[in-house]
Amino acid sequence: MSKRITKAVIPAAGLGTRFLPATKAMPKEMLPVVDRPAIQYVVEEAVAAGLHDVLMITGRNKNALENHFDRMFELEVLLKEKGDRTKLAKVNESTDLADMHYVRQGDPRGLGHAILRAKMHVGREPFAVLLGDDIIDERDPLLDKMIDEQEKRNTSVVALLEVEPSQIHLYGAAAVEKTDDPDVVRITGLVEKPDEADAPSNLAIIGRYVLRPEVFDVLEHTEPGKGDEIQLTDALQEMAVTPEETGGVYGVIFRGRRYDTGDRLDYIKAIIQLAVDREDLGPDLRPWLRDFIHTLD
């Protein structure tokens, strides 16, 4: 029996320019989704799938991320003195979550380049990559299935979502073949952010990957692609067509709830969707939202 994977890599070096001025002095990963920073959902998802070793790829201006997953001594003392256990628990929620590690990306040369920075930490074992802009609802676990498929087939695995054809230009798009599992496909090709007319399908890569370490060997020679950046999708394309050397790539089709916090409109939608389901906020928010909708006409 092979050892179940334990390492997650979370790229968090992006500049977050879509959220300026909020992100001028604060990492976009710290923007609150309801009352938790977006990045906390992602680390919690990794931990829920058994990935307790988390490497975050950061950059300048990202100190708040490290602070968030560390002790906050003064605040803890203050809340202890006050006897406020509820707030103390909230402060500590992120502290003991995972075994956190950090490496800086340096030059911002793309997602593929960011992942390559994880090579030393990961070593020669499969690992997961979670992109912070996508939040997967904890009620619809996805990583477990991806890890199972990775182990069973000994390939790399990406998460795929069916999107409107008009939206495919925002994602990596996959050409696929069916397998005997309706939720699993074999990937025969990948294109980063194609025009609608050139897209091989409307199956989009969402930000979850379980990769074989051969991805590092491929990324070492991957040339800059779309946007003049080193693209993870391009490395995976090479792996998809060289299964003997690199293990090939499969896709798990996700049919659950996913929230995109990558742009302002989707971010607002994500907050509303998550808040209406919350026990502490939903009962007041739902009737207010219904009334508010009537005022829109």
Where on the chain is the footprint of ligand G1P (CB under 6 A)? 111, 131, 133-134, 171-172, 192, 204-207, 231-233, 262
Taking the complex as a whole, how short is the minimal distance between the CB of residue 222 and ligand G1P, in angstroms?
A: 12
CB-nearer residue toward ligand G1P: 79 or 239:
239
How far lies 283's CA from each of 185, 244, 287, in Å? 40, 54, 7
**Residue number of the CB atom closest to ligand G1P:** 172
Taking the complex as a whole, how short is the minimal distance between the CB of residue 66 and ligand G1P, in angstroms?
A: 22
The rounded distance, in Å, linking the Cα atoms of 18 and 16 is: 5
* Strand, coil or helix: 55: strand
CA angle 264, 267, 270 (to 5 degrees): 155
Computed on alpha carbons and rounded to an integer, the radius of gyration of the chain in Å comes to 20
DSSP state of 269: H
CB-nearer residue toward ligand G1P: 106 or 227:
227
Taking the complex as a whole, how short is the minimal distance between the CB of residue 11 and ligand G1P, in angstroms?
A: 8
Amino acid at 288: W
CB-nearer residue toward ligand G1P: 56 or 79:
56
Taking the complex as a whole, how short is the minimal distance between the CB of residue 103 and ligand G1P, in angstroms?
A: 18
CB-nearer residue toward ligand G1P: 100 or 131:
131
How far lies 81's CA from each of 90, 94, 174, in Å? 16, 21, 55
Taking the complex as a whole, how short is the minimal distance between the CB of residue 282 and ligand G1P, in angstroms?
A: 27
CB-nearer residue toward ligand G1P: 15 or 34:
15
Q: Which helix (H) or strand (E) holds 168?
A: none
60: phi then psi, degrees, rounded to nearest 5: -60, 155
Taking the complex as a whole, how short is the minimal distance between the CB of residue 250 and ligand G1P, in angstroms?
A: 16
CB-nearer residue toward ligand G1P: 192 or 238:
192
Q: Which helix (H) or strand (E) holds 287?
A: helix 282-295
Among all chains, which residue has been given the structure tokens 């906050």? 72
